[in-house]
Amino acid sequence: DGGITQSPKYLFRKEGQNVTLSCEQNLNHDAMYWYRQDPGQGLRLIYYSQIVNDFQKGDIAEGYSVSREKKESFPLTVTSAQKNPTAFYLCATKRTDSSGNTIYFGEGSWLTVV
Amino acid sequence: KNEVEQSPQNLTAQEGEFITINCSYSVGISALHWLQQHPGGGIVSLFMLSSGKKKHGRLIATINIQEKHSSLHITASHPRDSAVYICAVNSGGGADGLTFGKGTHLIIQP
């Protein structure tokens, strides 16, 4: 089935460690996004990539890094510089066609830093 | 930057009731999305609207571009409809132009 796979679903890490969250898609979509969700807040954009080998910072990129070496993959690294990394992270892709833009989301990854 | 406000923030209703969730935004948009987030976190796109009305099963979404307002209706609500419903708008600015509301937490009691 076509879709977006995020892994791991749950991740616990010690403060000061870098963590990489995986996002893989087989939808053949060019655009991919990473969002962060905190309780009581709307989703906020961390990084996005509109094409392979290119990515741009979103609204809250500090303390995060990404790569886009393949169309299918857009991993997110939460570095030790991220001051409050405990959150829910969502990966998304976008399909653009004659009817407009449709956003597809993965199941998300819960990161807890202790 | 577009401001997206949803109301109510929380809604508890009895099974079978007609549900309405509202979304208002401050700046003109090219499209509005309604999303559903279940416990556990996964998000599903329900509707994308640029004008008028769309219906899918028991769900109806409407948008009034002049009034900068959209509503999501659920007819004959069921406990499986319990979820967080999120409104997001395409303003055209920024990376993907999407600005998200904080969501409406809906609980349907049997």
pLDDT band of A103, cuts 50, 70, 90: confident
The pLDDT of residue B94 is above 60: no
Closest Cβ opposite residue B42 in set A48, A99, A107: A107
Closest Cβ opposite residue B95 in set A45, A88, A99: A45
Q: Work out the average pLDDT over A80-106.
A: 87
Tell me if the bond preceding B8 is cis, omega within 30° of 0: yes
pLDDT band of B56, cuts 50, 70, 90: very high
B103/A100 Cβ within 8 A: no
* A9/A109 Cα distance (integer angstroms): 4
pLDDT band of B96, cuts 50, 70, 90: low
Q: What is the dihedral of CA B22, B26, B30, B36, to 10 degrees?
A: -30
Q: Which residues of B touch A37 (CB under 8 A)?
A: 41
* B63/A20 Cα distance (integer angstroms): 39
pLDDT band of A2, cuts 50, 70, 90: low
Question: Mean pLDDT over all residues of chain B?
Answer: 91
Residues 6+ apart with CB under 8 A from B30: A100, B50, B90, B91, B92, B97
